[in-house]
Amino acid sequence: MMPVITVTNLSKRFNLEAGFFARFGRFVYAVHDVSFSIGKNESYGLVGESGCGKTTTARLLVRMYESDGGDIFFNDSIDVRHLKSGELKQYREKVKYVFQDPARSLNPRMTIYEALVSGYRFSSRWPGQKRARSEAAAILEEVGLSEADLERRPAEFSGGQRQRISIARGLLMEPELLICDEVVSALDVSIQGQILNLLLDIKARRSLSFLFIAHDLKVASYFCDRIGVMYRGEFMEEAPAENLYRNAAHPYTKLLFSAASRSPFDGAEAAAASPAPLGEVKTATARIAGCAFAERCPLAEERCLRDRPDMRETGAGGLARCHKV
């Protein structure tokens, strides 16, 4: 399967202090040595706690941030990191980004039609006003809304409906890769299922590739073909979703699955027996010599703190960054 996008040894650091008078030289290491690829008609998941680097990785792919090192190739031939302005514009027509919060990504002053075509009208694919309106109506119907909704405004819709509109906007230019950044995390569980099933229908109908970002490993396992698990800017494990769900190899992946299984109604005794709760990942302000997860790992030993493990094969197409594998 030819990859739509290939990422090799991608890295990004940010200056720790912001502002005009901020000192330069102290950094947050957000993404470190990340490599993966996404095939045609494949859904690839990036999963981890808040602050693990998954959203930064996605934004590097569309150059919302500029990477410090590594390579990004689109369709095996386009070097994304070195595209000039006109070439970058054409690339962004083929790789579209759907944000987590549709209430913030949709301009409340625009009608739905204006929100859908605001970027389209400046693209190389703009077909004219009449054809664009017809396409906007068709794409709204594809995501479960109607042509009559074109003249309404975002505030008139529920959160799930606004997310459908955001997805429609991403699909309007017929991209090859759709990046979905936590698109269901703010929705009720029943609405999450509807949006996930909508994305599965779109994937099948359009042969579209997805980069799906989530903090819930079970949600990602339902939607994705393959999953990369991130912690402190690094990949801890990568495997086909079905294998990862059944046979997670890395201690951090097992922790994510156990956290997803816990109910908020579990008693204190069950909570005490569970692994440490998940939340926001501790920021890496220096290069980590050993395993990034060693401080929290129940299996850690001295060499885990000293030596960074390589990604090793776990069987059935899986890789894990762990000395114990």
Name the residue type at position 29: Y
Nearest to 180 by CA among 194, 193, 164: 164
Query: How would you class 23 by CB atoms within 10 Å of its CB: exposed for 0-12, middle for 13-18, buried for 19 or more?
Result: exposed
> Which helix (H) or strand (E) element contains residue 136?
helix 129-142
By the 8 A CB rule, do 111 and 153 touch?
Answer: yes
Q: DSSP assignment of 220-257, as one string? A: HHHH-SEEEEEETTEEEEEEEHHHHHH---SHHHHHHH
Instruction: Name 202's Cβ contacts closer than 8 Å, sequence gap at least 6.
Output: 142, 143, 167, 171, 208
Q: How many other CB atoms are there within 10 angstroms of residue 154's CB atom? A: 21
Residues 260-305: tens digit of each pLDDT: 765 433 443 333 334 444 566 777 777 889 999 999 999 999 999 9
Q: How many other CB atoms are there within 10 angstroms of residue 125's CB atom? A: 13
**Helix/strand/coil for 59:** helix
Strand partners, 280: 50
Per-residue pLDDT, 275 = 42
Per-residue pLDDT, 259 = 79
How far apart, in whole angstroms, are the C-alpha atoms of residue 80 and residue 321?
A: 27
Per-residue pLDDT, 214 = 95
How far apart, in whole angstroms, are the C-alpha atoms of residue 262 and residue 271?
A: 8
Instruction: Name 231's Cβ contacts closer than 8 Å, sequence gap at least 6.
Output: 48, 49, 52, 252, 281, 292, 293
238 phi and psi angles, rounded to 5 deg: -140, 135
pTM (2 d.p.): 0.90
Beta-carbon-side half-sphere exposure of residue 79 (alpha carbons within 13 Å): 6
Query: Digits of tens for pLDDT over the chain (325 positions)?
Result: 789 999 999 999 998 776 555 566 678 899 999 999 999 999 999 999 999 999 999 999 999 999 999 999 999 999 999 999 999 999 999 999 999 888 888 999 999 999 999 999 999 999 999 999 999 999 999 999 999 999 999 999 999 999 999 999 999 999 999 999 999 988 888 899 999 999 999 999 999 999 999 999 999 999 999 999 999 999 999 999 999 988 999 999 999 988 776 543 344 333 333 444 456 677 777 788 999 999 999 999 999 999 999 999 998 789 999 998 8
Options 3.40.50.300, 3.30.70.20, 1.20.120.140, 3.40.50.2020; which CATH number does 3-102+179-190+207-321 get? 3.40.50.300
Q: How far is CA 46 from CA 173, 217, 291, in A?
A: 24, 9, 19
How far apart, in whole angstroms, are the C-alpha atoms of residue 82 and residue 14?
A: 20
